[in-house]
Structure 1
Amino acid sequence: MPKLSVIIPCYYNEANIPVTVRELVTNEAQFPAEVSFEYVCVNDGSGDDTLGALRRAQAEYPGRIRIVDLAGNVGSYNAIVAGMAHATGDCLAVITADLQDPPELLPQMYAHWQQGFKLVIGNRQNREETGLNALLAQLFHWLMRKLALQNIPPGGFDFVFFDRQVATEVLKLHERNSNVFYLMVWLGFAYVNIPYTRRRREVGRSRWTLSKKVKLFIDSLMAFSFVPIRAISGLGLGLGAIALLYGLYVILLKITHPNEPAGWTTLMVVMLVVSAFQMIALGVIGEYVWRGLDAARQRPLYVVREVFEQ
């Protein structure tokens, strides 16, 4: 009798919880009768009454909902890892609490899992969202495909269905400042890609700020790509070649025109270019060093305040 654990990271989702849980429970009718369900809702340090909404949903649907209440906000990806650690299902799924990802795809994902696929990805082929957020999301995923993981589907994804083995392997990695969904692809299991249109958020407002998006991009790039270091090396070699040619030019100029005054403007331009490069290089190297230090500390990814079960 297979058991499906649906992991739902929750952050300021007080108004979403009643709608989302009702939709998920209603969607159970689309599965084969032998499937059992648990919903692992992770409260990621929300400042509103998300925990209260989860407790009310737990009382309304007894035996289905497990609540993992974290001591503080650790980010949605670490919250998902916490959900994996507390899930007990044979297969697992991750879905957002705002219903921008369609729960009706879950039965199709389950069918692929029964066929032997360890990972099923719901791929955002289109978006109902428009404007700057949509453009930034498209740019992010295009860059990650070009610079880091070429085998991820275009358009991005955070709606996944996966086997218990995938969850176990991800938990073994203890990755910090990374992208948990990219880790699933990085493991190397063959996956099925199901395209869908991401819905517009109907309730509440997103807490996925620009600073969090920038951090995710940096974390993903540093975790899965050596391009930043290689770019520094390439730029350094290029500047070195230019400096060598300029040095030869200065020597030749000195030989042919011994009384020619030195060029102050040229000297300052060269110094500014080299100094700027050095600062950029130190910044990129510092990002890698900081991540190494953060991993060496071995601080926990999350701290659980309390687990509510029925």
Structure 2
Amino acid sequence: MPKLSVIVPCYFNEENIPVTVSGLISNEANFPAEVSFEYVFVDDGSGDATVAALRREQARYPDRVRVVELVANVGSYNAIVAGMEHATGDCMSIITADLQDPPELMMQMYDYWTKGFKLIIGNRQDREEAGLNQTFAKIFHWLMKHLALRNIPDGGFDFVFFDRQVCDEVVRMQERNSNLFYLMVWLGYAYVNIPYVRRKREIGKSRWTLQKKIKLLLDSLLSFSYFPIRAISVLGLGLGGVAFLYGIYIIGLRLLGGSGPTGWTALMVVILFVAAFQMVALGVIGEYVWRGLDAARRRPLYVVKQYDGAIK
């Protein structure tokens, strides 16, 4: 009898929890009777009453709802890894706590899983929300598709359905400062792509700040693309070529008896430009070095405070 584990990262989702649990339980009716379910909710160090709301739902559905409470906020991707480590299903899905992604799509994903596909992606064909969020998302996924992973679907995704084998591989890697969903694609399994329209958030306020979005963009590019380092190399060679030609020009003028360019303004402009490039280059290299140091430390991705009420 197949078991489906649904992993739900939670961060300041107190008001969403009852609606989300109810929606997930109702969605079970779409599946064959032989499928069993568990819902692994991971509280990512919320500062509100999210944990209390989860405990109430766990009391209502003790055979289905599991609660992993983390000691501190470690980011949604690390929280998802915590959920994956505690999940026991044969297949799994990750869904947001605000139900912007439609749970009913899981049944179609499950059908593909029974046909042998180990990764099924629900990608955002469009969004009901507009404004800066939509603009940033389009830029983010365009950069990732053209500079990092060309085999990812258009529109981006964070609603996935995957096999136990994919889960074990991702958990085993313990990847830091990366993009969990792109990592699943990077593994190389053939996947099915199901487009859908992402719903507008109806309850609560998103905690996905601009700072977190920029960090995710940097983490994703630096984890899956050598473009930043290659761009520095190409630009450095270009500047070196320009400097060499300019040097030949100056030497030629001197040999022909002419006077070289006078004034220090042009010289200062060149020096400042080269110095600025060097600082940018050091910054990019520093990002890679810091990520290497962070991985070398092998600090835990998260620390569990309680799991199903048991203190860790």
TM-score range, shorter chain: over 0.9
The range that moved more, 68-77 or 254-263, is: 254-263
User: Corresponding residue for 2:172?
Assistant: 172
User: How many residue pairs were aligned?
Assistant: 310
Rounded to whole Å, the distance in 2 between the matches of 1:261 and 1:131 is 51
Q: Which amino acid aligns with 1:214?
A: I
CA contact (8 A) 2:9 2:44 kept: yes
Tell whether 2:53 aligns with 1:53: yes
User: Corresponding residue for 2:248?
Assistant: 248
Tell whether 2:262 aligns with 1:262: yes
Q: Say if 1:218 and 1:151 are closer, same or farther in 2 by CA, change over 3 A.
A: same
**What's the % identity of the aligned pairs?**
71
Q: Unmatched 5+ residue regions in structure 1? A: none
Rounded to whole Å, the distance in 2 between the matches of 1:261 and 1:237 is 24
Rounded to whole Å, the distance in 2 between the matches of 1:50 and 1:213 is 23
Counterparts of 1:112-151 in structure 2 under 5 Å?
112-151=112-151
Rounded to whole Å, the distance in 1 between the matches of 2:141 and 2:6 is 25
Deviations 1:87-114 (A, max 9, x none): 0000000000001000010111001000
Q: Unmatched 5+ residue regions in structure 2? A: none
Rounded to whole Å, the distance in 1 between the matches of 2:186 and 2:6 is 22
Rounded to whole Å, the distance in 1 between the matches of 2:163 and 2:260 is 74
User: Corresponding residue for 2:292?
Assistant: 292
Counterparts of 1:29-48 in structure 2 under 5 Å?
29-48=29-48
Q: Which amino acid aligns with 1:127?
A: R
Taking only aligned residues, the RMSD between alpha carbons, in angstroms, comes to: 1.1
Q: Which amino acid aligns with 2:138?
A: Q
CA contact (8 A) 2:250 2:260 kept: no
Rounded to whole Å, the distance in 1 between the matches of 2:42 and 2:252 is 69
Counterparts of 1:67-82 in structure 2 under 5 Å?
67-82=67-82
User: Corresponding residue for 1:193?
Assistant: 193
User: Corresponding residue for 1:10?
Assistant: 10
SS at 2:120 equivalent: strand
Deviations 1:197-227 (A, max 9, x none): 0000000010000000000000000100100
Q: Say if 1:276 and 1:21 are closer, same or farther in 2 by CA, change over 3 A.
A: same
CA contact (8 A) 1:8 1:95 kept: yes
Rounded to whole Å, the distance in 1 between the matches of 2:157 and 2:309 is 30
Rounded to whole Å, the distance in 1 between the matches of 2:104 and 2:259 is 81
Deviations 1:224-259 (A, max 9, x none): 010011000000000000000111111122233544
SS at 2:66 equivalent: strand
Rounded to whole Å, the distance in 2 between the matches of 1:216 and 1:54 is 27
Counterparts of 1:221-236 in structure 2 under 5 Å?
221-236=221-236
Rounded to whole Å, the distance in 1 between the matches of 2:294 and 2:99 is 33
CA contact (8 A) 1:66 1:309 kept: no
Q: Say if 1:158 and 1:261 are closer, same or farther in 2 by CA, change over 3 A.
A: closer
Moved over 2 A (4+): 253-263
Tell whether 2:264 aligns with 1:238: no
SS at 2:157 equivalent: coil
User: Corresponding residue for 1:272?
Assistant: 272
The alpha-carbon deviation at position 262 of structure 1 amounts to: 2.5
